[in-house]
């Protein structure tokens, strides 16, 4: 596709439920990042994938959060047993070289 695609664009879930957020990066981009942005705040790094290397999970806030990237392309971010503080916009970005991030439109997650 022409850009980074994220789905769903909006997700409302009940506290305690699990959610899956999907990111389809730009074709040929080997690096994929997940960030979280709470209302009025900056971007919080969550996890980074580069090719076949082990992902950098240092930003994941708890063990309820996990992510995988299948076949070096599509990535899924999973949040188990969601809490209200998980409400935020989850942004995915991809890059062909280290220098430039291309962001998707994000998934707005609301936990009620």
Whether 15 and 32 have beta carbons less than 8 Å apart is answered as no
3 versus 16: smaller Cβ distance to another protein = 3
Reduced to 3 states (helix: H, G, I; strand: E, B; else coil), residue 62 is: coil
Task: Give yes or no for residue 101 binding another protein (CB under 8 A).
Answer: yes
With CB under 8 A as the contact rule, the residue among 19, 21, 67, 91 that binds another protein is 91
Give the single-character DSSP code of 34: E
Task: Give yes or no for residue 25 binding another protein (CB under 8 A).
Answer: no
14 versus 51: smaller Cβ distance to another protein = 51
Sites of contact with another protein (CB under 8 A): 31, 33, 35, 41-43, 45, 48, 50, 56, 91, 98-106
């Amino acid at each position: 596709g022409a850009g980074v695609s994220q789905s769903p664009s909006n997700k409302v879930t009940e506290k305690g439920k699990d959610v899956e957020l999907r990111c389809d990066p730009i074709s040929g981009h080997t690096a994929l990042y997940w960030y979280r942005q709470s209302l009025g705040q900056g971007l919080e790094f969550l996890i980074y994938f580069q090719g076949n290397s082990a992902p950098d999970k240092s930003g994941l806030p708890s063990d309820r959060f996990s992510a995988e990237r299948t076949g070096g392309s599509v990535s899924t971010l999973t949040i188990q047993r969601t809490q209200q503080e998980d409400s935020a916009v989850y942004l995915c970005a991809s890059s062909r070289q280290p220098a430039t991030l291309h962001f998707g439109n994000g998934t707005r997650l609301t936990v009620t």
